Homo-oligomer: A and B are copies of this chain.
Amino acid sequence: MSGLTQTANSDTGRTVISVDAMGGDRGPAAIVAGISLSAKKNPDIAFILHGPEEQLRALVARKRNLDGRVEFRDAPDVASMDAKPSQVMRQGKSTSMWSAIESVRSGEAAAVVSCGNTGALMMLSVVRLRKLPGVNRPAIAVLWPSKNPQGFNILLDGGADIRADEGDLLQYALMGASYARNGMEVAHPRVGLLNVGTEEHKGRAELKAAHDLMARNADGSNFEFAGFVEGTDLPGDKVDVIVTDGFTGNVALKTGEGTAGMIGAQLREAFKFSPLSRLAAIMAYTSLNRLNKRIDPRRVNGGVFLGLNGTVVKSHGSSDATGVSAAVKLAFKLGQSGFSERLAARVASAVSLPQDDPTSTSADENE
């Protein structure tokens, strides 16, 4: 089954990424164009591609730079965009999504990328990869353009679970900090807890409990706890990681997306208004392009599922080649750094920390 994978993985030293070729709004051609883009930029990457094999082979054959770097796994069915997770579970093994996760489960690939249905991807990932010991609710970590030097902040949970108690929020802090270290080279991440005000007397009861828990665990877990933050800090430089429940996180992300989209549309309209403004737009082309590049959602494409035995990157459903390539890049980076194993060690060490004695032990500093 895996002659080619062996080659890609062991003999060439390439990191193998498992890619679900189906389920994206633009079909498998956009996915193949995306991995071709990644292969062009990165000689150390190889792929296992999941979907209807014949169709995929034809698409890959047209990209010369993918020669010898792609292995196929035939999967005739697609987990559709509007299917409920439970329906996808019933479809099960025949879907490209299931198959793609399987390659991570078996150790053939270092990480998996899918543009498919988020709910279904999360459910299959939990069922097949299983939660890390000590993790109650896995979370989706999303990158958001920010004023920080690394260019992005991490928000979690972006919508895996609408609930989160104080223990879950502490786990999110640990997992988000670990992601910032391994995915973004932030050595000592600053973590904030999202609330409606920064005063300690404000907000919901579980947030006060989570505040205390995070303050007590920060030192031993190699992050700095910055206390409560507000929605305005999401694109700011006060913290690197913002922790909240999946309901609030999802609303915040979508509000930010909607606002950025509206401003972009009005900016384009403003420049179309008169011949002079059209000329100005041409002159300002590089400036506007620079801005666009900075806030282009395709370049921050990839929600990472945290808290599982394996790295799963959810790419946007409407991703084009640029978007898919960004998600693959993220999967490669996390896969290569052994992120999943480091995160597991980090969570395990925090779980063993007696919470009433913050001085008792320290987490694994190898992370």
Q: Which residues of A contact B (CB under 8 A)?
A: 84, 145-147, 159, 162, 194, 196, 201, 203-204, 230-236, 244, 246-248, 250-263, 265-267, 270-271, 273-274, 276-277, 279-281, 283-284, 286-288, 290-291, 294-295
Contact = CB atoms under 8 A, between A and B. Distances in A.
B259 A235 contact: yes
9 contacts: A147-B262, A147-B265, A236-B258, A252-B255, A255-B255, A255-B256, A259-B260, A270-B287, A273-B286
Q: How many copies does the complex hold?
A: 2
Contacts of A281: 280, 284, 287
B280 A284 contact: yes
A231 B203 contact: no
Contacts of A253: 231, 255
A196 B162 contact: yes
Contacts of A258: 231-236, 256
Contacts of A284: 270-271, 277, 280-281, 284
A249 B279 CA distance: 40
Given A266-B294, A267-B291, A290-B273, A256 B256 contact: yes
Nearest to A253: B231
B280 A287 contact: yes
Contact of A146 (B159, B196, B251, B262): B262
Nearest to A292: B270
B247 A231 contact: no
A204 B196 CA distance: 20
Contacts of A265: 147
Closest 5 pairs (CB-CB, A-B):
A231-B254, A231-B255, A280-B284, A280-B283, A232-B258
B254 A232 contact: yes
A269 B295 CA distance: 13
B203 A247 contact: yes
